[in-house]
Amino acid sequence: MSESQRKTYRPWEPQRYRQDAQSPDAKLPEGDVVFFLLDLVPRLDLRRFYAPYEDETRGAPPFDPAMMVCLLLYAYCVGVFASRTMAQACERNLAFVAIVGTDRPAFRTISDFRKLHLEACKDVCGQVLRVAGETGLVKLGNGATDGTKRQGNASRHKAMSYGYMRKEADRVRADIEALVTQAHQQDAEDEAALGRRRGDALPAELARRADRLATIEAAMRRLEARAQADAEAERQRRAEVEAERQRLGTPRRGKAPKPVDETPDDKAQTNFTDPELHIMRTNNKGWEYCGNAQARVDAAHQIIVACDVTAESHDTQQAAPLARLTMAALEQAGIVPPKDATGTAQKIPATYDSGYDSAAAATTVEQLGFDPYMATERQRHQAPEADSPGLLATAQERMAAKVRTPAGRAVYARRKVIVAPVFGQIKEGRGFRRFLLRGLDHIRGEWRLVCVTHNLLKIWRYSWTPFPM
């Protein structure tokens, strides 16, 4: 093939590329989210992040907390949650380089900073919510609440049932007894051979079994305490049912219920790697140790107003706590409910699926300033509409009728399109499928980071314009 017929390609000069200075400002899109965060983070009140370093004079100077906060927020925005992956991105990704420059934190520095400042992230959540309110993204219209199971950093293979624990504890005690007997015999032989010299060190095998027995017994106590709490809740539920039956004058049907048992079921399990998490049924019909992540979402632009994580698999007891968190978050952000013609604050609509159904929860939510629409059963498309719920006897009947009125149906029908897409954006869009930290407090902090970066992405997409320099 002649030179004139040879294929022409764009020039490739890797040696020159390696020597060129790559400017993130020149290479990244002008409206990239990293520039939004670089504009916003210096304007946040980060005093709680700076406080732990103010009086410490030992060691090398730490990284600027504002830079570390910006790094964490950007990483969570783009779906990078592991500290090792963040550290690698600081060396290879121009957007991360735009934040950290040439002085790049190690993964351990990132990990320790995140764990140390999880509580301080509450302030960032409030300030970001304030920004969302000031830019008109929070309208306090229909607010939907829901929960999603997120797998914890715990393995099912590091768990044990209560029945197996009892057998294992008996076996370990027998092993310890045999080892102690063997140790006494060895001591006698050593005494004869060594005299006054040392020969009394605890055998390693005995120490290992003693630690294992202590771990198993602690797990048994956790299961026993949980069983007692469940038994107390069951007694309270039965008392409420009996009171309602007495009020209506209906006769008891069937056999009297068996006495409440406070002993754990032999199949009840607990985990050794993260004991605070419980095993839960997941969407894929499997069972995993999960945290039940809760979120309250405003309808206007899917801003998360409040969030929390609980170890309870059911949502029944979560409506009231999340309503309190919502009011506290709104107060911190300076967002007030709209008022009617008389100057009275209007109640904020709040929709819940049937998993939250509870007369006590509905009453508490209403007292906190919300107008609850709480499904009492699975909603059917062809169910007849209801008249005014005011004349019905029980709170549950009134709530069921309220959701079936034309106005109630219109409000409740919006619930799924408000909150479900948020969980989809977090799970599918950013890839957050499991918690990386252990311990319920750390998991709550991790979920706050996920939720605040969701709100930051909404602000960036809907209302951000670069701040003047």
DSSP string, 356-398: G--HHHHHHHHHTTEEEEE-SS---TTPPP---GGG-SSHHHH
- At residue 199, the pLDDT reads 47
Q: How many CB atoms lie within 10 A of CB 195?
A: 8
Parts of the chain with a pLDDT under 70? 1-10, 12-22, 183, 186-203, 205-206, 284-285, 377-395, 466-469
Query: What is the predicted pLDDT for the residue at 377?
Result: 67
Place of tokens 């010299």: 197
Residue 378 is predicted with a pLDDT of 64
Helix (H, G, I), strand (E, B) or coil at 352: strand
Contact call for residues 244 and 214 (beta carbons, < 8 A) = no
Q: Please answer whether residues 146 and 423 qualify as being in contact, where contact means their C-beta atoms are separated by less than 8 angstroms.
A: yes
Give this prediction's pTM: 0.80
pLDDT given for residue 37 in this prediction: 93
The whole-angstrom separation of Cα 365 and Cα 350 is 9
Contact 73, 450 (CB under 8 A): no
Both structure tokens of 263: 């002993």
Residues 325 and 305: beta-carbon distance below 8 Å: no
Strands 348-352 vs 370-374: parallel, antiparallel or unpaired: parallel
Closest C-alpha to 318, from 121, 77, 145, 75:
145
- 103-118 as b/e, with b when 16 or more CB fall inside 10 Å? ebbeeebbbebbeebb
> What pLDDT sits at residue 43?
92
Cα distance between residue 105 and residue 113, in whole Å: 10
What span, in angstroms and rounded, lies between the C-alpha atoms of 150 and 283? Answer: 10
For the chain, count helices (H), then strands (E).
17, 8
